[in-house]
Amino acid sequence: MQGTDTHTGIRKYISLTRPHTLTAGFIPVLVGTASVLLFSSIRWDMFFAMLIATLLIQSATNMFNEYFDYKKGLDSAESVGIAGAIVRNGMSPKAVISIAVAFYILAGLIGIYITLGSSFWVLVVGAISMAVGYLYTGGPYPISWTPFGEIFAGFFMGTVIIMITFFIHTGTLHYFPLMISIPVAITIGLLNMANNIRDRKKDKESGRKTFVILVGKPIAVLTTAALLAFAYGFIVWIALFKPYGSIFLLLVLLSLPVFIKTVKLMWKGSTPQELIPAMASMGKLNTIFGLLLTIGLLLNGLTGI
């Protein structure tokens, strides 16, 4: 059954990173790097270092989620979703947390390299972001158990990463990448929203107070639709009316069919199994939206139009 597959060998290690969520790791780096071309040249060593570090942190955060959900009894062999390294694939909790810590150490070492080539503040902000990644599901008061999970995910994985990426290339901050980060942060936060819509019944039984649980599924889906509509409108506003904007940014409008399909799947689905396609579609939307935005920024930077 989809969402409850068992993996062995190398596949169980790959599934441990939850590949479908890694779009939230690489899209902000791509967008942040593409926005650099309007102001400076790309430092390719910094690009690859930031990309690897971000993917390591995102993967480790997923592993922390796997570990702590298991420890709190939220996951079982029958659970629907991308979790399952422990309950279905036979990995020990100790192995999962050990790999997560190893990934964090590697990301930290890469962060030191980035800091040596930019600023000490990059290390500080990076350390805070890593702490949030752990506290999202770890610690006595996990962020994911509150109504603010989507906000934290969107801000730190979207806005913060884009601004760090821009800074390590240019040595400065600017309002343009900050504006560009807002729609990206929205789509990343809504990845969490889709997950929470799917898991709302199990989460409520466990005592979580997510936004979805507090307002209910219909309002959560309407909120998703409204935020996505705002994201598109915000890009159009930047493209047509703001300095450094460009008609090339309107390429993101090509992803509108995926937006419509995603909202329809969220509205139609009820059970966790029925909502798996909605989650997959939200991940696809985040990826396509981000890639189209990246292409638009690259064309803007290369042509100056």
Give the closest residue to 258 by CA, choosing from 276, 234, 290, 282.
282
Q: Which residue blocks in the chain are alpha helix, DSSP H?
A: 10-16, 23-36, 44-71, 93-116, 120-135, 149-154, 161-170, 175-198, 200-206, 211-215, 217-241, 256-268, 272-303
Asked if residue 215 has pLDDT above 70, the reply is: yes
Percent of the chain residues topping a pLDDT of 70: 91
Phi, psi dihedral angles at 68 (to 5 degrees): -75, -30
What average pLDDT score do residues 177-195 get? 96
Q: Categorize the per-residue pLDDT at 82 as very low, low, confident or very high, splitting at 50, 70 and 90.
A: low
Query: What's at 154, amino acid-wise?
Result: G
Residue 141 above 60 pLDDT? Answer: yes
Q: pLDDT at residue 62 above 70? A: yes
Backbone angles phi, psi at 118, to 5 degrees: -140, -90
Name which of 11, 175, 146 is nearest 85 in CA terms. 11
Which two structure tokens, joined as six digits, stand for 266? 């969220």
Mean pLDDT over 39-68 rounds to 92
* pLDDT, tens only, 150-183: 999 999 999 999 999 999 999 999 999 999 999 9
pLDDT for 2: 45
Residue labelled with tokens 């290369």: 302
**Which residue from 267, 268, 236 is spatially nearest to 250, judged by alpha carbons?**
236
pLDDT at 6: 55
Distance CA 197, CA 275 (A): 8
Terminal alpha carbon distance of the chain: 49
- Asked if pLDDT for residue 235 goes beyond 90, the answer is yes
> Other C-beta atoms within 10 Å of 94: how many?
9
pLDDT score of 96? 87
Residue 190 per-residue DSSP state = H
* Cα three-residue angle 57-91-79, rounded to 5 degrees: 85
- Amino acid identity of 46? M
The arithmetic mean of pLDDT across residues 33-46, rounded, is 94
Q: What is the mean pLDDT of residues 56-64?
A: 90
Is residue 7's pLDDT more than 70?
no
Instruction: Delineate the domains of the chain, giving CATH numbers in brackets.
Output: 10-303 (1.10.600)
- Decide if pLDDT at 1 tops 50: no
- pLDDT tens for 88-136 read 556 788 888 999 999 999 999 999 999 999 999 999 999 999 999 999 9
Q: What are phi and psi of 2, to 5 degrees?
A: -60, 135
